[in-house]
Amino acid sequence: MRPTYSIIAPIYNEEGNIQLLYERIAAVMEQTNEPWELVMVNDGSRDRSLELMLSLAHSDPRVKIINFARNFGHQIAVTAGIDFASGQAVVLIDADLQDPPEVILELIERWQAGYEVVYAVRAERKGESWFKVFTAKLFYRLIYRITDVNIPLDTGDFRLMDEKVVRVLRQMREHNRFIRGMTSWIGFKQTGVQYIREARHSGQTKYPFRKMLRFAWDAITGFSYFPLQVMIYVSGLLGFLAILAIPVITVLRLARGPEFFGGQATTIVLLLLMSSFQLFFLFILGQYVARIYDETRGRPLYVVASTVGVKQPEEQKEPLNE
Ligand code: UDP
Ligand code: MG
């Protein structure tokens, strides 16, 4: 039977969390009285994670496993889970129990009320270093400011998505993925539910600073052309300085004699002008690169929520894997 709910948990060296994760999710999902599945994606774990997952799947057929050949990263693991999930609503959750499974019931409530995306907003974070909390806050605010889609503040991947959203997500095959941005981009009716983010149940974070930086960069480059556009400001500033320098030097030379400032002045003005020109054309070049990027990413042009009197285009209806 087709499950109503698919819970997706990416797993990278989570041996200390898998059993409890399963128990807590099972306890919560039983309360819904609907069929469900737990899709665990093993992202190249080197500990006993896979072994534990296999034994769970053996005793409970609702547990499904996708086993990666190596570590492909969190966002890719979640993507595989989304590709293989078969539920009418898909829930993404971290395996370390920082996202309490009990919140899923609240997500479901909003889904039943008609929302297609229900994301969980971190009202408070427990057991994380001030550095992590600070950089995370900074990151979400920066993303919010410079990206084109409105990515809600302080939300991770912990969320519920209706199958309509999931179908579109499956069509978005970009390699550098920032899933929470991609769901915002898709649209539909979205809402948030507040929750308290717990401390990790067992083990260490799998997001060292290096991976976090990469993740932030994926988010920025995936959803904003700001890094390509800053050049125009620098170009404008240099051009302005060059133009300002000309009358200033002229006046100084008239007042103090032709030797004042020597040949340097001409060189400085020329240098400023040339740099300004070069940055300006780099900016133009960047605009073309941005367009090439848009085309190669091959996102759908639009997402249809509903139609009257016409059929929806085929590709909007069929998921990639069917
Ligand atoms: N994860 C993964 N692959 C990775 C890194 C992390 O599948 O390369 C999983 C990890 O097992 C966990 C989730 O992604 O279920 C979130 O990772 P983590 O808790 O380490 O991140 P943090 O909460 O510290 O940001
Ligand atoms: Mg975590």
Q: Is 14 exposed, middle or buried (0-12, 13-18, 19+ CB in 10 A)?
A: buried
Q: Is 152 exposed, middle or buried (0-12, 13-18, 19+ CB in 10 A)?
A: middle
- Average pLDDT in the chain: 91
Q: Which amino acid is at 240?
A: F
- According to DSSP, residue 92 is labeled E
pLDDT tops 70 at residue 312: no
Percent of the chain with pLDDT over 90: 66
Give domain limits for the chain: 5-208+300-321, 226-297
Residue nearest to atom 16 of ligand 1 (CA): 94
pTM assigned to the model: 0.87
Separation of alpha carbons 67 and 177, rounded Å: 20
State which ligand 1 atom lies nearest to the alpha carbon of 205.
20
Bridge-based pairing of strands 5-11 and 190-197 is unpaired
Segment 65-101, tens digit of pLDDT? 999 999 999 999 999 999 999 999 999 999 999 999 9
Q: Torsion angle, CA of 127/129/133/135, rounded to 10 degrees?
A: -150
Percent of the chain with pLDDT over 70: 97
Does residue 1 sit in helix, strand or coil? coil
Among 207, 209, 210, 218, say which to mutate for ligand 1: greatest number of ligand atoms within 8 Å of CB.
207
Residue nearest to atom 19 of ligand 1 (CA): 205
CA of 231 to the centre of ligand 2 (A): 37
Segment 124-180, tens digit of pLDDT? 888 788 888 888 888 888 888 888 788 888 889 999 999 999 999 999 999 999 999
CA of 32 to the centre of ligand 2 (A): 26
CA of 132 to the centre of ligand 1 (A): 14
Task: Please give the average per-residue pLDDT across 234-250, as a whole number.
Answer: 92
Separation of alpha carbons 275 and 198, rounded Å: 51
For ligand 1, which residues put their CB under 6 angstroms from it?
10-12, 14, 43, 71, 73-74, 77, 94-96, 98, 205-207
In sequence order, the β-bridge partners of residue 41 are 10, 66
Among 12, 43, 82, say which to mutate for ligand 1: greatest number of ligand atoms within 8 Å of CB.
12
Separation of alpha carbons 117 and 144, rounded Å: 18
* Distance (Å) of CA 287 to CA 156, 263, 275, 283, 294: 30, 37, 18, 6, 11
Predicted confidence at residue 90, as pLDDT, reads: 98
Q: Torsion angle, CA of 123/129/132/134, rounded to 10 degrees?
A: 70
CA of 74 to the centre of ligand 1 (A): 6
Query: Which tokens in the block code for residue 16?
Result: 């200390």
* 314 confidence band (pLDDT: 50, 70, 90): low
Separation of alpha carbons 119 and 190, rounded Å: 8
CA of 104 to the centre of ligand 1 (A): 19
Residue 139 CB neighbour total at 10 angstroms: 17
What ligand is nearest to the CA atom of residue 21?
A: 1
Residue nearest to atom 8 of ligand 1 (CA): 73
Fold of 5-208+300-321: Spore Coat Polysaccharide Biosynthesis Protein SpsA; Chain A (3.90.550)
pLDDT tops 50 at residue 322: no
Among 94, 129, 210, 214, say which to mutate for ligand 1: greatest number of ligand atoms within 8 Å of CB.
94
pLDDT tops 70 at residue 8: yes
* Distance (Å) of CA 290 to CA 13, 117, 143, 214, 226: 37, 29, 18, 20, 10
Angle, CA 70 vertex, CA 67 and CA 71 arms, to 5°: 100
Task: Please give the average per-residue pLDDT across 189-213, as a whole number.
Answer: 91
Pick the closest to residue 154 from 187, 186, 178, 121 (CA basis). 121
pLDDT tops 80 at residue 62: yes
Residue 3 φ then ψ, to 5°:
-70, 150
pLDDT tops 70 at residue 255: yes
